[in-house]
Amino acid sequence: MLVLVKITYNVTPLTDVILPSPSSKVMKTLILSGKLFPSLANLVKSRDKQKPLFISNLGYGDVRLISDGSEVIKVKANSRLKATLSFPFLDGIQNEITEGIYETPYGKFSLLLDSIEIIDIKSLKNVDDYQNANMYVKFLTPTLLSSKVLLPPSLASKYKQVNSGFSLLPSIGLIIAYAYRDYYAILGNTNGEEYASRAFKLGILINAFTKIVGFNLRPKTVIIGRDSKNKLRETRGTVGWIEFDVVHDKFKRLAIKYLLIASYLGLGRSRGIGLGEIKFELKKRNE
């Protein structure tokens, strides 16, 4: 059985703190230090671009605490923040669910378990009442999507060294191609020409069958740490929302299945530090 786990914590700083950017480093540091879910440490350290792991930034509701470099992230003592972790179920992981007060390089925090969600991936294949609904995707944190994902596999090696950056106005095909990659990362199958070819074809076909209903997208810069010379590192991605329909039943069902996975694991690059966090829902049409 293929199962995802989503764990949400209430995170409370016990003193006034200045958070790092991204603020996901608080939870990431606890994992790497062995204080929280030590079994996830190797997954956190992995250099695999498609690892099935999401660590959210700290935040209030849908507002995530990230910095564009113009100011630091200040949080007062006893503010109630939330953070989520999503990953495939591992044997014995239930024994690593803990709560308590933890020291970090960023301050002392109280962690209290808020919720645990168990998702059987196979159950996501059957989504009812989707025919009379549009798909709505909200990008909560900057989402890093490279259009090179839609390059034909036969040309991938030829243009491997071309740095096209990240798309700040992503097509629906590009979004779904990345969601597809999330799905197959859980299965451990993200390499090989056949996989790349299917992702490419899916993106092109989804683009061909998509009807955009509305959108409000904008670029946003986020600080992601410092380099070896202590200079701030930044990246730029998409935030906002887009509403659309896929007017082909087979591909609409596939798009929904993959986006449901992405709503747990995020989209694009740097999901392990909280970028690419999305909310996904079906919106009923009035017809």
Predicted local distance difference test score (pLDDT) of residue 61: 85
What pLDDT is attached to residue 184?
84
Q: How many CB atoms lie within 10 A of CB 281?
A: 14
- Supply the pLDDT for residue 285: 81
Alpha-carbon distances of 119 from 29, 78, 83, 136, 209, rounded to whole Å:
26, 32, 18, 21, 29
- Of the CA atoms within 13 Å of residue 172, those in its CB half-sphere come to 26
Two tokens, residue 180: 């597809």
What's the pLDDT score for residue 287?
55
| Cα-only R_g, the chain | 19
Contact between residue 139 and residue 219 where contact means Cβ atoms under 8 Å apart: no
* CB atoms near residue 173 (< 10 Å): 25
pLDDT tens per residue, range 237-286: 999 999 999 999 999 999 999 999 999 999 999 899 999 999 999 998 87
Which pLDDT does position 248 carry in this prediction?
94
3-state secondary structure of 254: helix
pLDDT for 233 equals 87
* Least confident segment among 25-39, 103-117, 180-194, 243-257: 180-194
CA-closest candidate to residue 144, choices 23, 260, 272, 230: 272
Structure tokens at 136: 């709505």
pLDDT band at 49 (very low <50, low <70, confident <90, very high): confident
Residue 119 pLDDT: 87
What tokens were used for 61?
């509701």
Q: Which amino acid is at 228?
A: S
Span 151-172, average pLDDT: 82
Nearest CA to 99 among 174, 227, 10, 5? 10
The pLDDT score that the predictor gives to residue 137 is 97
Cα 174 to the center of its chain, rounded Å: 15
Q: Looking at the whole model, is its pTM more than 0.75?
A: yes
Comparing 69 with 73, the larger pLDDT belongs to: 73
Query: Which has more pLDDT, 158 or 263?
Result: 263
User: Does the structure show a pLDDT above 90 at 148?
Assistant: no
